[in-house]
Structure 1
Amino acid sequence: MAAVKKFQVTFDCAEPERVARFWCEVLGYVVPPPPKGFATWDNYQRSLPPEKRGSWFACMDPSGVGPRLYFQRVPEGKVVKNRVHLDVRVATGLVGEERLAVLEAECARLVALGAARVHLMLADEENESCIWMQDIEGNDFCLD
């Protein structure tokens, strides 16, 4: 049996730091310390050639359990629905009206941060309710 491996989730985006800080708020993640030898991320960015400044940013689970999220600048915008997306688990174990209330409250919080609500998917015979959303650059995710 293969050993479990650590992984990070990488997002292509136009503004890596802005998107990373959005996801810090969504998930309770933090910005890691700046690279060794730099007191701040601003100091690090100023040390780079102009074309490399702001080209990437990252955030991490402060407990070390969840994957690192890495955001890299790309020239193209999003053109189709993501084939992979994050399910943000805010209502695990809840059903019915109680689940919907938790989903709606979290949706409202994230919309205030700049996310967009796309569609409420109500429970059916196989799945509980969830809300399809997009982050501040249009990357799809679900509140589950």
Structure 2
Amino acid sequence: MITFVLMVNRQGQTRLCRYYQPVNTSRRTVLEADVVRACLSRSRDQCSFVEYKDLKVVFRQYAALYIVVGVTEDENELSIYELVQNFVEVLDKYFNRVIMFNLDRVHIILDEMIQNGRIVETNKSNILAPLNALDKMGDG
């Protein structure tokens, strides 16, 4: 099960977070700091999987951002890595360049892909359908 998804910049600042299990605010701060530090300290030739307490962490760099996903131990790391790749491809398909000014749209994309910590959609067209409908309403 997916427990959280983070997008952080190279300085380790969280730009987007979505938790699928309840975590109190003080624990979130520590968890994010520890997980991000572990991911950012790895070199490019090291794998993108890290263990953190009772979680496995899968991450990938996308331009100036890192996408970090925490999962339970029973989850397959490679399937999550593929999910991150798919997420990046959907972001590339929808946005021209700057996504940090459109975080509401990134949340919609993430919510179309993951619900309650489970992957529910991977088809890019299906994921983007609600955003395309919103965009058409805005143009009309």
Q: Which has the larger radius of gyration?
A: 1
Higher helix fraction (1 or 2):
2
What TM-score comes out, normalization by structure 2 length?
A: 0.26
What TM-score comes out, normalization by structure 1 length?
A: 0.25
